[in-house]
A and B are shown apart, each in its own frame.
Chain A
Amino acid sequence: MDFNLTPEEEAFRREVRDFLAAELPPPKQRDAAFMPEWWKKIRAKRWIGFSWPEEVGGGGGTLMQQFILKDELARARAPLLGSDYTGLHWVGPAIIQFGTPAQKARYIPEILDGQSIWCTGYSEPDVGSDLAALQCRAVREGDSYLVNGQKIWTSLAHFAKSIFLMVRTDADAPKHDGISCLLVPMDTPGIEVQRVHNMGAGGYGDMLNQVFFNDVRVPAELRLGAEGQGWEIICSALQSERSGITEVNRHETSLEDLLDLAARSERNGRPALEDASVRRKLGSFETRIEAMRLNGMRALTRQLRGDLHPSEASINKLHNCDLLVEMSELALELQGSAASYYGSGEAVLDKGRWQLAALSWPATVIGGGTPNVQKNIIAERMLGLPKD
């Protein structure tokens, strides 16, 4: 067991740290002009798509370098690496893994250069956790597919340029085998987007939509992978660092701020930090955040030893959900009735960030599989319990 870095890894950490010290202003000084400049600089360092192979224009970073980069960026409270989150996190990796040379040449550079905006067409009105039952239909007609159906909870669809669309191409095959993936421009005739506003009432993170497909004609060359390979694409993940260190550092930052809020708050007429229940919760948050960090290092160790899908990553997903929910809950409790104020006015504490946290966790907690679905996966894959 050894938690130290090698001299080469230390040198890389130093390089990242020095760059951030020189180029990244504190959060309050980052204005509208900052982001495009920032992305240009980190693109030049190949930190956008850092885990991707160099031959497609990625950074070719080792697992340890990826870990160090994410760790340092999060500590410096740096903004996201790249503008197209969906493209960088799963559409790009899927195209690298399953795409034709033409598809790679067309899509990968624009994702890296921040020219693309992808959204993901997975959920449907009748299909959520049971994703493999999806019904949106694509019928092959000559050199194209005719798509009819509906997607819902489609984040960013109202300004996305393309959709990573899962459709049923074979209605007779077993449900997992009849799914295909299409890369569809959002300006294709027959696509209609309707906003679905979330409970944050127009605040940050209000990006849900439903998307209707009426006789949408998609050239067959825009199919990713083989016909029927959609489920494999959904389940795949390009080898990249999976320690979750970014989330860990974000939770640490939140905990610091929450401790600061607690130091300013009262419970039952006494300082909140003298309240046993408040102390227990704060101590428990610290403990679970540290457990996440260490679980992540165990996952990383397993990856370094060749295990592509370390189980610790699913374990951390549940911790991540619990912490988001519980920390925002305590933040509201500490405020008492002031927690009812909302927005950015004078009545609201800390510019309303805690209220926003309490209204925005569902996007993380529900998106990508609810905690209950995660528990099924953990019980079946790690404990070997029978499937439902």
Chain B
Amino acid sequence: MDFGFSEEQELLRGEARKLLDEACPLSELNALRETPEGHSPEVWKQLGELGWLGLIVPEAYGGAGLGWLDLIVLLEETGRSLFPGPLVSNSLAAATLADAGDDAQQRRWLPALADGSRIGSVALLDEREAFWPDAIGLRGQRDGDGWRLSGEKRFVTDPTAADLFVVAFRTGDAPEALSLGVVEAGAPGVSAKHFPTLDQTRRLGNLELLDVRVAADAVLGAPGEAWPAIERLLDRGATAVAAEMLGSAQAALDLTVQYAKDRVQFGSPIGRFQGVKHPLAEMHVQLESARSLVYYAGWALDESPNDVARAASRAKALMTEASSRIGTEAIQLHGTIAYTEEYPAQLYYKRSKFTRPLFGDADHHYDRLLRLRGL
């Protein structure tokens, strides 16, 4: 029994924190959001050189061959620094390729995603925002041994930064008759756009597909049988987002605790008053508990596949509640300073809003936990 990280993992955490503090301080975020990429390509290149973009990519395909738990360490740190780069999108695209792709497909796409020369994202949702098989509506039309796609994928993360997309589409009438294919950003009929976001450190938008051909060798796994892989992708997505949330919620809580120690009113640090102290204690309790669930979900992704669905749902659910509460209370406990543009509390608050719906909010996952019990 050992519910702790290895020395190597602690080393990775320390290095990631140091690099992100230096290369991607909060003070840079305002400038980065105005750039075409929305993040710093130089920092992205650095992460690629360090091998951190391909942590979970098998060594045979240019990655580090490490596990989800290692990636979670990194994601916690990128969350803490509100890193605007497409690490979650890229990791999920790579993980899905490694999970569902054959040797040729992995050889074709994974090395570039691992070294940072190309960026991947995933496009799952379309008309309906739900995480059940029948919510995916985009229908593929047979075209020889491949498929043609026309339609719009919505709520795609990092749509304009990505060079390729893992796209979910329907290839039959049964709810689970789904397929996964790779669509490249430069291919004919493919266009991506992002919209202004409430959390300006994050890009979100649409992938528009106009008679786009997905050749047979770009379909991951057997056509019509992709639901299990999609469900694993959803669980990885929920876990990855929860890991980033853990880092940013901890940063918001740390900022607020420090403020409660420093800010003096009525002749005393406000952290002495129970009206301030108790909510902070409650948030700490909630966050530490979410932390346990997130770490366990990471471990389950590596070591215990049968536990993944429950572990991921529990982690994203409690993490979402903790992050929402901390985002809001960080502002209330600070006072007016918190919602000025120059103060970071508002950035954490906005991040908590952005991450809440990604891969399902707390209500979705609580409901899913009962479904997983057959209820």
A294 interface residue per 8 A CB criterion: yes
Q: How large is the interface on A (under 10, 10 to 19, 20 to 34, 35 or more residues)?
A: 35 or more
Complex contact B280–A273 (CB within 8 A): no
Complex contact A291–B318 (CB within 8 A): yes
Q: Which residue of A lies closest to B289 (CB)?
A: A291
> Bound complex: CA of A273 vs CA of B6, how far in Å?
42
Q: Which residue of B lies closest to A301 (CB)?
A: B3
> Bound complex: CA of A9 vs CA of B2, how far in Å?
13
With A1-B3, A291-B290, A378-B285 known as contacts, the answer to whether A273 contacts B370 (CB < 8 A) is: yes
Complex contact B373–A259 (CB within 8 A): yes
Looking at A29-37, A111-119, A279-287, the stretch in contact with chain B turns out to be A279-287
Complex contact B2–A287 (CB within 8 A): no
Complex contact A315–B261 (CB within 8 A): no
With A1-B4, A1-B295, A376-B277 known as contacts, the answer to whether A283 contacts B317 (CB < 8 A) is: yes
Complex contact A280–B4 (CB within 8 A): no
Looking at B17-25, B134-142, B223-231, B268-276, the stretch in contact with chain A turns out to be B268-276
Complex contact A5–B370 (CB within 8 A): no
Q: Is the interface of B mostly helix, strand, loop or mixed?
A: helix
Q: Which residue of A lies closest to B368 (CB)?
A: A283
A384 interface residue per 8 A CB criterion: yes
With A259-B373, A375-B281, A386-B269 known as contacts, the answer to whether A287 contacts B314 (CB < 8 A) is: yes
Question: Mask for A350-387, Cβ within 8 A of B = 1, else 0?
Answer: 00000000000000000000001011101110111111
With A283-B365, A284-B366, A388-B274 known as contacts, the answer to whether A1 contacts B281 (CB < 8 A) is: no
Complex contact B272–A283 (CB within 8 A): no
Complex contact B280–A286 (CB within 8 A): no
A252 interface residue per 8 A CB criterion: no
Q: Which of A1, A290, A300, A385 contacts B314 (CB 8 A)?
A: A290
Q: Which residue of B lies closest to A259 (CB)?
A: B375
B193 interface residue per 8 A CB criterion: no
Question: Mask for B256-293, Cβ within 8 A of A = 1, else 0?
Answer: 01001100000011011010011011101100111011
Complex contact A273–B375 (CB within 8 A): yes
Residues of A within 8 A of B164 (CB): none
Closest CB-CB distance, B13 to chain A, in whole Å? 13
Closest CB-CB distance, B34 to chain A, in whole Å? 37
B367 interface residue per 8 A CB criterion: yes
> Bound complex: CA of A332 vs CA of B281, how far in Å?
29
A2 interface residue per 8 A CB criterion: yes
Complex contact A286–B314 (CB within 8 A): yes
- Restricting to A148-169, which residues have a CB under 8 Å from any CB of B? none
Complex contact B274–A376 (CB within 8 A): yes
Residues of A within 8 A of B274 (CB): 372, 375-376, 388
Complex contact A385–B366 (CB within 8 A): no
> Bound complex: CA of A27 vs CA of B360, how far in Å?
41
B299 interface residue per 8 A CB criterion: yes
B52 interface residue per 8 A CB criterion: no
Complex contact A312–B277 (CB within 8 A): no
B132 interface residue per 8 A CB criterion: no
Residues of A within 8 A of B (CB): 1-5, 9, 64, 67, 259, 263, 273, 276, 279-280, 282-284, 286-288, 290-292, 294-295, 297-298, 300-301, 304-305, 312, 315, 318-319, 372, 374-376, 378-380, 382-388
A sample of 27 inter-chain contacts (CB < 8 A) reads A1-B295, A3-B303, A5-B1, A273-B375, A286-B369, A287-B293, A287-B314, A287-B365, A291-B292, A292-B289, A294-B3, A294-B293, A295-B292, A300-B1, A301-B2, A301-B3, A301-B4, A315-B288, A318-B285, A378-B281, A378-B284, A379-B284, A384-B257, A386-B268, A386-B271, A387-B272, A388-B274
Given contacts A292-B289, A304-B1, 11 further A-B contacts (CB under 8 A): A1-B5, A1-B295, A283-B366, A286-B314, A295-B289, A372-B274, A372-B278, A375-B274, A376-B274, A379-B277, A384-B261
